[in-house]
């Protein structure tokens, strides 16, 4: 009989211990998530205003909408008045030494807009690149993990980078050799 009581007591110990932890209510979790998103949005706004951001692409889209999931070192960088766009592929060698191209240029106009608090931050920049001429860069900062940068040349060629956003200092990208 004593053994049975001990077995029941040992079996009930985890149940009693788990009953001591408090679970957050749905409202508390929602408020926490909203606070986190508000802090992220403020950090993104600061990066956009300071012209200090890198979109490290996880997916690249062409003008026809075809996409490719890509490895590291595909990025769009805005660093004060400078602009860098880089593609790379681990399966081949190309002009930048990383299997793609690296285009650098300067930003001639830069505008940051946000329609409402819930709307994405939109950056519109006119850029002058070495080798491709002028173009338009449109960056949509939805969240720290989901942002897009679309570069369109004056000839109509378009490429879109989609991925997380970081500051230039926190970025882990490697810039290859410039095309021009």
Environment class of residue 77 by beta-carbon count within 10 Å: exposed (0-12), middle (13-18) or buried (19+)? buried
Model confidence, pTM:
0.78
Residue 15: its pLDDT value, please?
Answer: 65
pLDDT in tens, 100-132: 788 889 999 999 998 787 888 999 999 998 878
Residue 111: its pLDDT value, please?
Answer: 94
Domains defined for the chain, CATH in brackets: 26-166 (2.40.128.410)
For the residues of 68-94, what is the DSSP string, one character each?
A: EE--SS-EEEEETTEEEEE---TT---
Query: Of the ranges 112-121, 159-168, 170-179, which one carries the lowest mean pLDDT score?
Result: 170-179
The pLDDT of 135-160, averaged and rounded, is: 90
Q: Rounded to whole angstroms, how far apart are CA atoms 71 and 87?
A: 10
The pLDDT of 156-161, averaged and rounded, is: 91
Residue 88: its pLDDT value, please?
Answer: 80
Name the band, by pLDDT with cuts 50, 70 and 90, for residue 19. Answer: low
């Amino acid at each position: 009989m004593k053994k049975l009581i001990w077995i029941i007591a040992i079996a009930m110990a985890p149940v009693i211990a788990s009953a001591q932890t408090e679970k957050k209510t749905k409202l508390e979790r929602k408020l926490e998530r909203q606070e986190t998103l508000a802090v992220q949005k403020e950090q993104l706004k600061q990066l956009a205003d300071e012209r200090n951001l890198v979109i490290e692409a996880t997916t690249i889209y062409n003008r026809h909408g075809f996409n490719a999931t890509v490895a590291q070192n595909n990025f769009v960088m805005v660093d004060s008045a400078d602009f860098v766009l880089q593609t790379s592929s681990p399966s081949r060698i190309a002009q930048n030494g990383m299997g793609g191209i690296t285009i650098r240029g300067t930003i001639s106009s830069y505008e940051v807009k946000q329609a409402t608090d819930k709307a994405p931050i939109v950056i519109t920049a006119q850029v002058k690149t070495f080798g491709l001429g002028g173009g338009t860069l449109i960056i949509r900062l939805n969240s720290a993990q989901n942002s897009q940068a679309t570069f369109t040349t004056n000839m109509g060629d378009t490429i879109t980078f989609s991925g997380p956003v970081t500051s230039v200092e926190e970025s882990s990208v490697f810039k290859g050799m410039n095309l021009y």
